[in-house]
């Protein structure tokens, strides 16, 4: 009899401890806040899913994180204004400043302009904890709705300690990409977001979040751009180079008040003859011109002045190299750069660092 009482006592203790495990585990779950802006992920017929409904659609979410929800807005991504971009960045900065125990934020966005918004936040959210931008390619009522799966993976990434210090991340279809490098490469397929040339930062594997590389350029906590000091974002237009293009669109942008222009050049930044004359017109009116490439990948090296361009105003006549940024992202960086300086050499430094 004595031999039986000891194992029984141990069993009772183990059982009691095991009964307390779920509560202890729940208390240790990382807290992640879902902030919604709208987009296809919440666009059901007749109305839109609320943040709480989106969170409720994620299988086993309460086993992964302690989720909080907040609605910033609930519109299509194309309806977001630049003023709302700044308000959103300020809100994210405030959330991190006010809640030191928050592991990270999951942010929903429409996919059409997701890469632009994500890069803006990559440059203006000045904290190391992750902001994970997520969306879906299919609406909630359609067969194969990908929103719940993408949200589940985004929550996992936001909660993962390895996500800290990597800037703003974009998570769709089990891949993790940097906001700086990711681009939408398909209009309708589920595998619509990729990082050309460099590849994804990592993946959301079945057992854990796996990273394969880091982010080398400046971002978030090391950024010099402070949205609290910005009243408005300067106007920056994008003009594409193509065979036989006149410079009329460039001149029109200048005459209509553009502070900067991004040229989506052919190849390594080639423009037409008519566009070159119009770019010179932009220089004369102190409009900063950035040359990017329309190809989708590749780097444009900074251009040095010709002998004819040498002189006291050389820096003004230098085109700014867009480096390897897509034209839409070069526009985002140029808008922010112009809130700090209009010196071409300084703007070129920023394009080299961010």
Q: Note whether 23-222 and 235-353 share their fold.
A: yes
What pLDDT, on a 0 to 100 scale, did the predictor assign at position 4? 37
pTM: 0.90
For the chain, the domains span 23-222, 235-353
Q: What is the pLDDT of residue 318?
A: 72
Predicted local confidence at residue 8, as pLDDT:
39
**Tell me, what's the pLDDT at 46?**
87
Consecutive sets of 10 residues in the chain, 354 residues long: mean pLDDT of each?
Answer: 39 44 63 97 93 97 98 93 98 98 98 97 98 98 96 98 98 98 96 96 97 97 98 98 97 98 97 96 96 96 69 64 98 98 97 98
The matching CATH number, chosen from 3.30.43.10, 3.40.605.10, 3.40.50.40, 3.40.50.1360, for 235-353 is: 3.40.50.40
The answer to whether the CB of 105 falls within 8 A of the CB of 69 is no
pLDDT score for 305: 64
Q: Which CATH code fits 23-222?
A: 3.40.50.1170
354/351 Cα distance (integer angstroms):
6
d(CA 43, CA 146): 12
- Active-site residues, by number, are 40
**Residue 250 pLDDT:** 98
């Amino acid at each position: 009899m004595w031999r039986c009482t000891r194992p029984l006592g141990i069993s009772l203790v183990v059982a009691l401890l095991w009964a307390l495990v779920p509560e202890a585990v729940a208390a240790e779950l990382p807290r992640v806040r879902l902030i919604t802006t709208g987009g296809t992920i919440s666009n059901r017929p007749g109305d839109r899913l609320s943040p709480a409904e989106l969170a409720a659609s994620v299988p086993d979410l309460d086993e992964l994180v302690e989720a909080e929800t907040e609605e910033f807005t609930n519109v299509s991504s194309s309806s977001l204004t630049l003023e709302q971009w700044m308000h959103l960045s300020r809100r994210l900065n405030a959330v991190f400043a006010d809640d030191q125990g928050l592991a990270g934020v999951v942010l929903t966005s429409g996919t059409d302009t997701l890469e632009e918004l994500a890069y803006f936040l990559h440059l203006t959210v000045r904290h190391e904890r992750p902001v994970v931008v997520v969306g879906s390619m299919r609406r909630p009522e359609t067969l194969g709705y990908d929103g719940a799966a993408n949200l589940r993976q985004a929550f996992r990434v936001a909660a993962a300690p390895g996500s800290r210090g990597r800037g703003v991340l974009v998570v769709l279809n089990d891949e993790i990409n940097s906001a700086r490098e990711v681009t939408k490469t398909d209009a309708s397929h589920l595998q619509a977001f990729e990082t050309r040339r460099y590849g994804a930062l990592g993946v959301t594997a079945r057992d854990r979040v796996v990273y394969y590389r880091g982010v080398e350029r400046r971002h978030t906590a090391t950024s010099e751009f402070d949205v609290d000091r910005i009243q408005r974002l300067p106007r920056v237009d994008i003009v594409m180079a193509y065979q036989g293009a006149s410079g009329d669109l460039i001149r029109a942008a200048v005459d209509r008040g553009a502070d900067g222009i991004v040229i989506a050049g052919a190849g390594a930044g080639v423009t037409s003859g008519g566009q070159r004359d119009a770019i010179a017109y932009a220089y004369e009116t102190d409009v900063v011109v950035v040359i990017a490439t329309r190809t989708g990948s590749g780097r444009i090296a900074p251009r040095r002045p010709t002998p004819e361009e040498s002189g006291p105003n050389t820096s003004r006549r230098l085109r700014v190299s867009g480096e390897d940024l897509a034209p839409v992202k070069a526009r985002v960086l140029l808008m922010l750069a112009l809130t700090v300086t209009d010196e071409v050499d300084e703007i070129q430094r920023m394009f080299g660092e961010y």
